[in-house]
Chains A and B, each alone.
Chain A
């Protein structure tokens, strides 16, 4: 096989050492030949792909061992020291590409050897046990598509110049696969008198949370796969606790220990953090459940839209069950109409909504509001603040509005 990609210029045949190492910079794989004539797959970085005028005139890149993104597509998370946000406005449907799943950790992402990994379950059990990754994979498995959200996931902006990523980019959706925690609870013989368990991670934070044992018996999953492959290190490789509908912090990553008990352990993450002032001098603790929420991801800042037909799009979800309705207002909240919900509508999962709208070119505000199966309706910011005694904090899920100016400029507006 020849190695000419296009023409014979040395520039186009050049394979740099950096690109041979592949990795994140690789955007295309081509066949090349060693000096001895052996054919091998090499990687080209974005900078080295020749700009081909007419792809119908030149053979393309052959199949490779790993897929790529087009160099023209650059969806990225926005990292801070402690977290990294999903670009919600750049995505379609409801599955977050695994490498764009949001992150939040408390002392970095550890590198864990799966061959050495063990999960220990002890405490109020008949038989304390240790499970290797291979053990966990032998048990009957389950998969479900569900959202994950950090409870500290609302940021407004006074000047309106903020994106869905910045407002609530600490939420993503994957298909999670693993063994039900209830299966492991039966294996070790959890004492029916146990009411709480400690989940502990093997990261540098050795992070701990107390979880109601009832949740462990319910739909908790000891997950080892995400979107069809091993969980990513950023999401807890090789094993994490997945608690559908519960705030992200409780879904302990890099899970190494579960201790069954009859009282909460009052860890730092459930006392000093992840608690919120709710008025009257009270501080709410063990606020696990993520309340129903929706956001319009298109159109959103910084886009400029044109007068005429616009498909308003967004995602909606609830930690208490299924979304039953998403209502859209295109007249600054005066009237509301139901949006189309994307099937299948799943329990505790991002549900896409769509609403076809003809914009008349006049200034207005558009917003979405979700209702979940329990009858809970997503509140406006002012009503949420009133319910919390005027305190901002965790578990802020307000309706967010987008102001569309006459020139088509879209800006965020708090409600």
Chain B
């Protein structure tokens, strides 16, 4: 017997979990989609992934903090790293550019936010994203070269410069997910639908 549960078309965004509406099929139905008729469930290609190789690659950081490594940082240390490794592209105070502006002291409620002026402080909805992105992609010409300690310090520095934490606050796996990001209130999930309405 195949149960069908259909979630109604309301998309809800909560701080800890996001569900997107779709027709919910149970696993039997997933396994029996038309394009896989006649296929075995398993082909036996590929090999098991070891815990070690997963751990090597699985270094992303989730909004609930899962994935944050050991360590901690504070803004005063981050200031030194920033001056050495970040200021060249993002400007001496995180405002001047030429690349993406990182710092603003105002929370902008002006919907006409110019792309150049979207910053961590007025536009980023999650503080954990700062850690995740710096760790994987920055600095631009030497991505992935920073230590976790440096990433924590830079994260603390940038959050502090944006007025989101106090200058002396420690940023670690426990405190980072709790940082309140004012822009989170502005974010809504896509409500465009099939059909004639333009949204």
Chain A interface residues (CB < 8 Å from chain B): 106-107, 120-122, 127-132, 135, 138-140, 142, 180, 182-183, 185-187, 190, 192, 195-196, 198, 200, 204-208, 212, 214, 217, 256-257, 259, 261-268, 271-272, 275, 277-289, 291, 320-321, 374-377, 379, 383-384, 387, 389-391
Contact = CB atoms under 8 A, between A and B. Distances in A.
Interface in B109-153: 109, 111-113, 118, 120, 123-126, 128-129, 132-133, 136-137, 140, 143-144
B8 interface: no
A244 to B, nearest CB: 13
B187 A256 contact: no
A127 B46 CA distance: 11
B111 A281 contact: yes
Interface string B19-62: 11010001100110101100101110111110001100110111
Contact of A263 (B18, B140, B194): B18
Nearest to A291: B192
Closest 8 CB pairs of A and B: A374-B194, A268-B133, A128-B49, A131-B46, A287-B190, A206-B136, A192-B27, A214-B22
Given A186-B30, A208-B132, A376-B196, 10 more contacts: A128-B54, A187-B46, A196-B20, A263-B64, A266-B129, A267-B129, A285-B188, A285-B190, A287-B190, A289-B190
Contacts, number: 196
Given A131-B46, A135-B46, A267-B129, A389 B39 contact: no
A135 B22 CA distance: 31
B97 interface: no
A284 B190 contact: yes
Given A198-B60, A375-B195, A186 B47 contact: no
Residue of B54, B188, B198 most packed against chain A (CB within 10 A):
B198
15 contacts: A107-B143, A127-B48, A138-B43, A186-B41, A190-B30, A200-B60, A263-B63, A263-B64, A264-B63, A268-B129, A272-B118, A287-B190, A289-B190, A374-B195, A390-B112
A228 B26 CA distance: 36
Contacts of B26: 192
B12 to A, nearest CB: 12
Contacts of A185: 30
A285 B187 contact: yes
Contacts of A257: 57-58
Contact of B196 (A205, A267, A377): A377
B45 A131 contact: yes
Contacts of B125: 266, 271, 285
